[in-house]
């Protein structure tokens, strides 16, 4: 049985140990807002938002290998 994609994303965000601000900024960016718009929304500079997005992506990339390994293990179990 496969997990719902939102649960996997939520688990990845938790595993990456993103701060509340990092998760919020990344979420708003993924919703299609421009960095300038996010900056205005949170009362920050565009440069600060850009750095937050960059750091968030680096943190998420660090947990991707773990999820790939989990997916491969699930395939092995299913195939038995």
CATH class of segment(s) 5-79: mainly alpha
Of 64 and 32, the one with more pLDDT: 32
Between 70 and 55, residue with greater pLDDT: 55
Largest CA distance in the chain: 53
8-state DSSP, 2? P
Between residues 62 and 33, which one has the greater pLDDT?
A: 33
Domain extents in the chain: 5-79
**Rounded CA separation 33/27 (Å):** 9
pLDDT of 60 higher than 60: yes
Residue 1 has a pLDDT of 41
- CA 2 – CA 39 distance, rounded (Å): 36
pLDDT per position as a tens digit, 5-56: 566 667 777 788 999 999 999 999 999 999 999 999 999 999 999 999 999 9
């Amino acid at each position: 049985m496969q997990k719902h994609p939102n649960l996997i994303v939520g688990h990845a965000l938790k595993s990456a140990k993103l701060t509340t601000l990092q998760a919020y900024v990344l979420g708003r960016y993924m919703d299609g807002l421009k960095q300038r718009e996010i900056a205005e929304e949170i009362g920050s500079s565009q440069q600060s938002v850009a750095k937050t997005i960059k750091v968030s992506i680096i943190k998420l990339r660090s947990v991707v290998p773990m999820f790939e390994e989990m997916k491969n293990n699930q395939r092995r179990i299913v195939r038995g």
